[in-house]
Amino acid sequence: MSGYGEVTIPILHGPLYPITPVMHVTGVRPEYSLIAEGTLSGILANYYYPKPGDRPLSDQWIPFDILPREGEYITVRQTKQFRAGGPDESGTTPPELRIQVQALPKTLPPTTLLTPVHICSDYISLGGIIPGAWIHAQLESGANLVSEQARKGAKDRFHLNYNGPLPGGVHIVVWQSVTEKGDSTGDSKKLKYLIEDGKFKEPLAELQFYETPKTCYNEIALANMLDSAYIRVVAPDHGQSFDANNGNVDSYKFAGWLPQAVGAGEPYVAEAYQSFDRCKLKSSVSKSPTIIKTPKLGTPKVSSPLCDDKRTFTVGDLATGQSLWVTRLVNGQPAPDHHYEQRIEPIPGPSVEFQIPENWPLIDPAGAVSFEFVQKGIESCSVASDISEPLRVTIGPPSGSSRERPVLSPGKMYYCSNVLRVDKVTIGASLQILSDNGRMLLPRPIDVTESPMVVHLPGRIYEKTELFALETSCHTGLFSNRIPVVPYEKDRLPDPTFAKAPMAFSRKVDVAGLVPGARAYVVVNSSRRTGSGKLWSQEVDVISERQEIPLNEQLRVGNKVGIVQYLCDATDSSNPSPTGRQVRLLVFPPVQDRDTIFHVQLRVAPFDITAQALQWNINHPQLGPLVAKIESFGWGVDLEYDAQLRHQDVYPGVGFWVVQISVPNPRHLIPGWVQISGKAHIVLYKPGASTPMPGMAQDIQLNARFLRDPTDSSDMDCFDWDVTFTYASDGKIGQWKDSEVPGPVSGLMGKKTC
């Protein structure tokens, strides 16, 4: 240690209440003491963080020795005493990042279920928690599952005390309560959630490594994770694990942060599996590709500008578990004193918030102040990154600059909501949301990274009030409009609709008719889960009346898709049917019209179709014998099959078109409709002629729909087709179903038997 400049300021996170027993602090250094101090109470905690091993994460939950008092501001610092001299100490939390202890709301908000509960769930994951409140969960029968004090922030998970699988098809009742100084302040609204069957089978879905693990990094990106599963990842040199039961499984993958970075070595692979201990179910073990040696770490980036009145900024593109070096420059050179460099080690995630020390002035008489960054691998696991572009400090409001007032939308917020959108905000500014009684709804201001910006409040609001935003940047502050928080005016929510018809192979649905502030999710074929047990979608907070909902798996032809939305004050999630009919739409593959000349292979993404030259004889009543040839032909498809078009003579001079389908892998076709379309360009020749007859060409459009019998539970080696063709013959256009076709017909027409 070389002194004060190397010790980073720890970061305190909220929210905090007079009943909160534990505080969340990041940037905590091993073998240092962390001191928390209140403006009214004095020293609230003096916690020593022992060294837990190599490369620990610095994310800690630290108990208060004395509970904080309402209204006071909390700051933190860390220090270490050396025998040879004085203490090595960080600075204290800067004023703008202090956390104020909030008053308890008059009416406790209901908690939000973050991940569905199913019969194999070991935990229940909840949001909207008042840290320090008591969390309760019971079966409808009254059997107690959870009675525990919330100690880890506004989101947490709680073990379900029950032997064996939970009873499926019944409801779990969840609420929170507060008892202060022996006097109960009441319970929140009790919400009921259905315990799903899940229909999980052994082995569980096998995990997939979404990305190849890298040395120096400790994130493992996995796909196919089941909600509430226990995830075990075995790294080359040590066993490690993390738990997916936290509501953070997104549409495609989950990045789990291991306690230590993946070690170097060759040929190393990581192994992973998932399990439900309550149901004694487990997946097979999957192996990653060979771990990649990271040759060079990426260059850190800061995307937001920095004004001289702001003492924080966020650095991104980082390697978790490594070290970030921040250097203060004056006129492009390291500051002349010895306090010009700080190191954040280990890096806690892909981005970190850096608090500028108090002895690093942003205005310096010696010249312009800027910062540069470099990240280095711990224990030389890779080459250090390039040095970043300097982040320059802007002094005062930019000349000639003018900012618009931020705008909160929608025009009102409903009880039980916790999300809103802020338009016309300035990137790089700080943003706080306040209520009309002066209460700050965010533990501390957040950085504006985009405009418009979606803001998620830690808790759900359950009382009449008004909200507004305060944006501060470069010595100026702007207030937004005010919006009221009110109960939903009806006893049910409107039925959602589809803004666009769901499409096969899509991983999202475009939904309209949503209520901002509600929560929504997707059901397919009347189920929330896919055949492998994954959720079709996570529950999403509704931001606007029209919104896309991402899916965890592609839609298939014939899927019946529905949307459910609910809002706890208007409708109970235990009975979602009033909040929106499960709209059943047939999902057709995207149709593309493409032409090609015969004798070439036609590539129609994502599969190949081989077309063959076709011709047939026609006895025309006026022109006599003719030869008809297909000059070009194309199909728009999105399923794996080969299609050939040919003409079938029924009797001389009369014919119809036949599409012959062969399916290399019938299991790719699920129950429901399959629709294809195509067109062919037909020319007529006199027998023996080398040039076509002028004016006799015709374009013919063909459409076919095939129905896989949804009642057939076989493995799809056998299937029924119901086929309708649009055809043209002798200049007439009409339709024939396969059952109406006169004469012999070959190809996949009618019923195929095993």
Q: What is the pLDDT of residues 660-684, one digit of tens each?
A: 444 444 434 444 444 445 555 666 6
Lowest mean pLDDT among 58-72, 440-454, 605-619, 680-694: 605-619
In-domain check, residue 200: no
Lowest mean pLDDT among 308-312, 593-597, 611-615: 593-597
Rounded to 5 degrees, what are φ and ψ at 270? -100, 150
The tokens for 441 are: 């709804």
Q: Residue 11 pLDDT > 60, yes or no?
A: yes
Q: Tell me which amino acid residue 327 is.
A: T
Q: Which of 432, 461, 486 is the last residue of a domain?
A: 486
pLDDT band per the 50, 70, 90 thresholds, residue 697:
low
pLDDT, position 643: 46
The secondary structure of residue 302, as a DSSP letter, is -
Q: Both 564 and 670 in a single domain?
A: no
Q: Residue 729 pLDDT > 50, yes or no?
A: no
Q: What is the pLDDT of residues 397-420, one digit of tens each?
A: 655 556 789 999 888 999 888 899
pLDDT band per the 50, 70, 90 thresholds, residue 159:
very high
The percentage of the chain sitting over the pLDDT mark of 90, rounded to a whole number, equals: 21
Q: Residue 592 pLDDT > 60, yes or no?
A: no
The secondary structure of residue 356, as a DSSP letter, is P
More confident call, 185 vs 536: 536
pLDDT, position 749: 29
Q: Both 748 and 606 in a single domain?
A: yes
Report how far residue 564's alpha carbon sits from residue 521's, in angstroms, rounded to the nearest whole number.
6
In-domain check, residue 201: no
Q: Both 513 and 615 in a single domain?
A: no
Average pLDDT over residues 538-544: 89
Q: Both 221 and 186 in a single domain?
A: no
Lowest mean pLDDT among 8-12, 303-307, 654-658: 654-658
Q: Are 426 and 473 in contact (CB under 8 A)?
A: yes
In-domain check, residue 254: yes
Q: Tell me which amino acid residue 405 is.
A: R
pLDDT, position 19: 94
pLDDT, position 86: 55
DSSP assignments along 686-726, one per residue: -TT-SSPPTT--EEEEEEEEEEE-TT--S-SSSEE---EEE
Q: Both 623 and 745 in a single domain?
A: yes
Q: Residue 744 pLDDT > 70, yes or no?
A: no
Mean pLDDT (the chain, rounded): 72
Average pLDDT over residues 301-312: 84
Rounded to 5 degrees, what are φ and ψ at 34? -105, 130
In-domain check, residue 106: no
Place of tokens 């190393």: 268
The tokens for 746 are: 């070959």
Q: Are 592 and 636 in contact (CB under 8 A)?
A: yes
Among 585, 580, 605, which residue's Cα sits nearest to residue 502? 585
CB atoms within 10 A of CB 240: 18
Q: What is the pLDDT of residues 186-237, one digit of tens each?
A: 889 898 888 998 888 889 988 888 777 777 766 677 878 888 888 888 766 5
pLDDT, position 93: 76
3-state secondary structure of 360: coil
Q: Both 557 and 644 in a single domain?
A: no
pLDDT, position 573: 45
Q: Tell me which amino acid residue 359 is.
A: N
pLDDT, position 42: 93
Average pLDDT over residues 733-741: 33
pLDDT, position 29: 77
Q: Which of 172, 194, 216 is the last residue of a domain?
A: 194
In-domain check, residue 164: yes
pLDDT, position 500: 83
Cis omega (within 30 of 0) for bond into 458? no
In-domain check, residue 400: no
Average pLDDT over residues 609-628: 51
Report how far residue 321's alpha carbon sits from residue 259's, in angstroms, rounded to the nearest whole number.
8
pLDDT band per the 50, 70, 90 thresholds, residue 713:
very low
Q: Both 499 and 457 in a single domain?
A: no
Separation in Å, CA 280 to CA 169, 229, 451? 20, 11, 47
Q: Both 275 and 179 in a single domain?
A: no
CATH for 468: 2.60.40.2470
Report how far residue 357's alpha carbon sits from residue 369's, in angstroms, rounded to the nearest whole number.
14
pLDDT, position 682: 63
Report how far residue 21's alpha carbon sits from residue 424's, in angstroms, rounded to the nearest whole number.
38
In-domain check, residue 645: yes
Dihedral angle sign, alpha carbons of residues 282, 287, 292, 293: positive
Q: Both 458 and 583 in a single domain?
A: no
pLDDT, position 236: 62
Q: Residue 724 pLDDT > 50, yes or no?
A: no
Dihedral angle sign, alpha carbons of residues 76, 77, 80, 85: negative
Q: Which of 342-356, 517-531, 558-572 has the highest mean pLDDT?
A: 517-531
Report how far residue 492's alpha carbon sits from residue 486's, in angstroms, rounded to the nearest whole number.
15
pLDDT, position 662: 43
The tokens for 30 are: 């091993």
Q: Both 737 and 639 in a single domain?
A: yes
pLDDT, position 70: 92
Q: Are 406 and 480 in contact (CB under 8 A)?
A: yes
DSSP assignments along 190-239, one per residue: PEEEE-B-----SSBPPPEESS--BTT--EEEEESPPTT-EEEEE-SSSE
Report how far residue 156's alpha carbon sits from residue 308's, in angstroms, rounded to the nearest whole number.
37
Report how far residue 389's alpha carbon sits from residue 372's, in angstroms, rounded to the nearest whole number.
6
Q: Residue 721 pLDDT > 80, yes or no?
A: no
Q: Are 169 and 157 in contact (CB under 8 A)?
A: no
Q: What is the pLDDT of residues 328-379, one digit of tens each?
A: 999 888 876 656 788 887 787 788 888 888 778 888 888 899 999 999 877 6
Q: Both 373 and 248 in a single domain?
A: no
Give 693's Cβ-side CA count (13 Å radius): 18
Task: For the full predicted model, state whether its pTM sits above 0.75.
Answer: no
Q: Residue 250 pLDDT > 90, yes or no?
A: no
More confident call, 398 vs 528: 528
Q: Are 605 and 525 in contact (CB under 8 A)?
A: no
Structural domain harbouring 433: 407-486
687 by Cβ neighbours in 10 Å (0-12 / 13-18 / 19+) ranks as: exposed
Q: Tell me which amino acid residue 572 is.
A: D
Q: Which of 100, 124, 140 is the last residue of a domain?
A: 100
The tokens for 168 are: 């499926």
Q: Residue 570 pLDDT > 60, yes or no?
A: no
More confident call, 433 vs 607: 433
The tokens for 707 are: 């129905």
Average pLDDT over residues 298-321: 85
Number of structural domains found in the chain: 7
The secondary structure of residue 214, as a DSSP letter, is B
The secondary structure of residue 390, as a DSSP letter, is P
pLDDT band per the 50, 70, 90 thresholds, residue 251:
very low
CATH for 269: 2.60.40
Among 324, 271, 276, which residue's Cα sits nearest to residue 297? 324
Lowest mean pLDDT among 178-192, 274-288, 732-746: 732-746
pLDDT, position 300: 94
Q: Are 604 and 636 in contact (CB under 8 A)?
A: yes
pLDDT, position 148: 95
pLDDT band per the 50, 70, 90 thresholds, residue 255:
low
DSSP assignments along 32-98, one per residue: EEEEEEETTTEEEEEEEE---SSS----EEEE-SS---TT-EEEEEEEEE-TTSSEEE--PPPGGG-
455 by Cβ neighbours in 10 Å (0-12 / 13-18 / 19+) ranks as: buried
Q: Tell me which amino acid residue 508 is.
A: K
Q: What is the pLDDT of residues 64-94, one digit of tens each?
A: 999 999 999 999 988 876 545 556 677 677 7
The secondary structure of residue 589, as a DSSP letter, is P
Among 14, 486, 415, 526, which residue's Cα sits nearest to residue 191? 415
In-domain check, residue 293: no
Q: Tell me which amino acid residue 269 is.
A: V
Q: Residue 727 pLDDT > 50, yes or no?
A: no
Note the maximum CA span of the chain.
114
Q: Both 53 and 27 in a single domain?
A: yes
